[in-house]
Amino acid sequence: MSAVEQRLADLGLSVPEVAKPVAAYVPAVVSGDLVFTSGQLPMTNGELLVTGKVGGEVAPEEATSCAQQCALNAIAAVKSMIGDLDRVVQVVKVVVFVASTPDFTGQPQVANGASELLGTVFGDAGVHARSAVGVPVLPLDSPVEVEIVVRVAG
């Protein structure tokens, strides 16, 4: 077990199976020493954790948990490309899309669900640049979608 997976286990979490794409794309691609994930939804066992808009049907706390699940799914996509998560030397960029009501402005706090998990499990390598973007709708009526870019060693 990698050190990253051990830190996840210490949190009571594990790397899930790679989520099947919902359209014509792959979960991640490698370009040089970078891995780019596709947008990851908060899926577990092929089902969304919750649907709807943050600030409406979805509470901000639920959305934060969804962002964490999205990050776990992104980690799974990375692992599927590189095998050993200890090869990640830097989480370069995280983009979090939050489907929210027009008056909801807490997208950065929702995005912390992903950012804090990445920081915890990757340590200093998990410190990243980030965008948190409010949008009117996401695929399958998901409240959150996360994509990441990581740099890997050898």
The residue segments making up the domain with residue 77 are: 3-12+28-152
22, part of any domain = no
99, part of any domain = yes
23, part of any domain = no
21, part of any domain = no
Instruction: Tell me which H or E stretch contains 114.
Output: helix 107-122
Q: Structure tokens of 99?
A: 């489907």
pTM of the model: 0.96
Q: What is the pLDDT of residue 142?
A: 98
The count of structural domains within the chain is 1
Q: What is the pLDDT of residue 19?
A: 81
7, part of any domain = yes
Residue 34 sits in a domain whose CATH number is: 3.30.1330.40
pLDDT values of the chain reduced to their tens digit, one per residue, 154 residues: 889 999 999 999 999 999 888 889 999 999 999 999 999 999 999 999 999 999 999 999 999 999 999 999 999 999 999 999 999 999 999 999 999 999 999 999 999 999 999 999 999 999 999 999 999 999 999 999 999 999 999 8
19, part of any domain = no
